[in-house]
Amino acid sequence: MRSCNTCKGTYPDVQADGTSYFHQCPPLSVAELHAAITAGTLVLTAAQQAQLAAAQTADLKTPPAAGTLSQVDTFLQTLSVTRKNARDENVVVVGKDTAGNPIVHAKADPTGFTEV
Ligand SMILES: [Zn+2]
């Protein structure tokens, strides 16, 4: 198994059916979005800020029932925010070697992985 050094997700490099698996970091989760907004590391657009404020107001007016998502979390689920240093192990052909074989590189691999 491998552990992604960016998102900390773990995955096999070869799947059960024998095919290669190419990891791509998922967008930030709702919990990560909350943390990033609180820390000020994620700046929402003006429209998103307005939607978030409306959702916060709606949650104050009508608190979510136990076991249901808040309006804020429902809104945050609609966002797809790429994490910093996102990795994408899917490959692109960048050229050919002298024998004519393709030379491939991962689309994005700023942090690599750790064998676990
Ligand atoms: Zn990852």
Query: Separation of 75 CA from ligand 1 center, angstroms?
Result: 24
Q: Residue 9's pLDDT band (boundaries 50, 70, 90)?
A: very high
Bridge-partner residues for 108, per DSSP? 88
Whole-number Å distance, alpha carbon 92 to ligand 1 midpoint, is: 18
Looking at residues 10-32, what average pLDDT do you find? Answer: 96
pLDDT number for residue 49: 96
- Whether this model's pTM surpasses 0.95: no
Residue 36 CB partners (closer than 8 Å, separation 6+): 28, 42, 81
Measured in angstroms, how far is the CA atom of residue 85 from the centroid of ligand 1?
Answer: 9
pLDDT, mean over the chain: 96
Ligand 1 centre distance from Cα of residue 27 (Å)? 9
C-alpha of residue 56 to centroid of ligand 1, in Å: 30
pLDDT of residue 21: 96
Tokens of 77: 């689920």
Contacts of 10 (CB under 8 A, 6+ apart): 1, 2, 3, 4, 116
- Residue 62 CA to ligand 1 center (angstroms) comes to 36
The CA 70 to ligand 1 mean position distance, Å, reads 27
What confidence tier does 43 reach under pLDDT thresholds 50, 70, 90? Answer: very high
Confidence of residue 59 (pLDDT cuts 50, 70, 90): very high
Residue 66 Cα, ligand 1 centroid: separation in angstroms? 32
- Is the distance from CB of 23 to CB of 11 less than 8 angstroms? yes
* Predicted local confidence at residue 87, as pLDDT: 98
Split at pLDDT 50, 70, 90, the class of 42 is very high
pLDDT in tens, 82-95: 999 999 999 999 99
Strand 88-96, strand 113-115: pairing: unpaired
CA-based nearest residue to 82, from 41, 21, 39: 41
Q: Residue 4: CB partners within 8 Å, gap ≥ 6?
A: 10, 11, 23, 25, 87, 111, 113
